[in-house]
Amino acid sequence: MFHIIKTRKIFYMISLAIIILGLGSLLTRGLNLGIDFTGGNIVELKFKNAVTVQDVRGSLEAYKLEDSQLQSGGDNTFLIRTRVLSQTESEQAIQGISEKLGGATLLRNELVGPVIGKELTRQAILALVIASVLMSLYITWRFEFLQAIAAIGGLLHDVLIMTGIASLLQIQIDSTFVAAVLTIVGYSINDTIVIFDRIRENLRMNRKEDLGELVNKSLWQTMARSINTVLTVVFVLLALLFFGGNTISNFVTLLLIGIVCGAYSSIFISGPGWYDLRRIQKDRKRAGKAAA
């Protein structure tokens, strides 16, 4: 059993390297923004023959539109949301799909703007900030201020890594990205609070024990719970990734990255981070008393 606190700087460096790599990708390649951010065409077709989502998506590949959002409306009606298409591209794609799938009636073809504009993006960021402040206040009231700082630092770590890896892998970013980030924030903070609660219990039972040893013991006491929890979620997400279809693959991939990252940060970033903050606080108090 290795000592997490004594080796904490290794984990700090691993996280820092991944974050720097992700930020570099964000600056050079940017995010692969989906049609929710860039706008596109909404095409509604009613097919003569019974077709599946896979049939429609397969017919879109010839026009490089396989990443389009598909929604079945029942009665062989499908809503297809594509990137911005010219009039010629739109007509060719609709005609080709209709011929390949046995005929279809065009119900509508509209060019729409981005679903998530600057205002909604700003509101999503504001919601994340407000949630972080409220969580900080709760953790400060329930535990202490330094643990609130460590917890929020862990959440920032998770969001940066999620966004960076999304840029590195060029995962398409759509409206589900915001939902994925908020889901991971909730998951990660719950895991972190469990660890902080165990640290507090151990502090009450043995205040004279070395802080580094106490935190390390607390992390290992919650390790099995953290691993079991993340594995059960990962198994479900893997099933959705392989069998859930193309429509939710990006969302599930982001959740997989975030779930693993959230479990990692709770154990190797937030817990050790609080230990370092507590140690710095004690050193300052000691220096202040010596100066006095």
| CATH code, domain with 76 | 3.30.70.3400
pLDDT at residue number 125: 81
pLDDT at residue number 277: 92
Asked if residue 287 is part of any domain, the answer here is no
Distance CA 78, CA 60 (A): 13
Domain that holds residue 237: 8-33+117-282
Are 82 and 141 contained in the same domain?
no
pLDDT at residue number 128: 82
Of 112, 134, 165, the residue that ends a domain is 112
pLDDT at residue number 175: 75
In this prediction the pTM is 0.81
pLDDT at residue number 113: 73
pLDDT at residue number 123: 78
| CATH code, domain with 257 | 1.20.1640.10
pLDDT at residue number 59: 87
Are 233 and 164 contained in the same domain?
yes
Are 78 and 191 contained in the same domain?
no
Asked if residue 244 is part of any domain, the answer here is yes
pLDDT at residue number 115: 66
Asked if residue 3 is part of any domain, the answer here is no
Of 69, 88, 112, the residue that ends a domain is 112
Q: How many domains does the chain have?
A: 2
pLDDT at residue number 49: 85
- pLDDT less than 50: residues of the chain: none
What token pair was written down for 261? 């990252």
pLDDT at residue number 117: 62
